[in-house]
Amino acid sequence: MIYIILFVMLLLLDQFTKYIVEQSFYLSESIPIIDDVFNLTYVENRGIAFGLFQGRLNIISILTVVAIVAIFVYVLRNKKTLSMLEHFGYTLILSGAVGNMIDRLFRGFVVDMLDFRGIWSFVFNLADVWINVGVFLLIIDYLILHRNEK
């Protein structure tokens, strides 16, 4: 139950931030939060991570739905054997993937706004953060599990 609540909260937070940016910013408008390090910048990403596959919405959407369903089925089938870290990791990944999928379905693009221009050259959103943190948690879990098996 906690994972469902977490999923919904993360999804709502992602969608809320995208809505606020879309309503408050002009396309490509950027507001410095921390000079030369972090800006909020409104970008419409018509691809996937790092702007790859621009303009291929149908393929991206199909692959995203397949990935979401595959992860969901995997979690359901293995929920009793998954560690807490794996549950959190998959919850984060699913909430991020669904958040970006909602954008693609209803907007035709993904709203990105987190711009660490002094550190990173790509603009991203909270859903991307959820996905990356989720993958990181799965890697940590795998490394810990493997170390304990030896």
Catalytic residue among 14, 103, 115, 128: 128
Going from the C-alpha of 120 to that of each of 36, 50, 64, 116, 148, the distances in angstroms are: 11, 10, 25, 5, 35
The residues pairing with 112 across neighbouring beta strands, listed in sequence order, are 43
**What are 6's two structure tokens?**
């977490």
Catalytic residue among 103, 112, 115, 141: 112
User: Is 112 an annotated catalytic residue?
Assistant: yes
Count the neighbouring beta carbons within 10 Å of the beta carbon of residue 63: 13
**What are 138's two structure tokens?**
């799965």
- Positive or negative: CA dihedral 88, 93, 98, 100: positive
The residues pairing with 40 across neighbouring beta strands, listed in sequence order, are 31, 114
- Active-site residue numbers? 112, 128
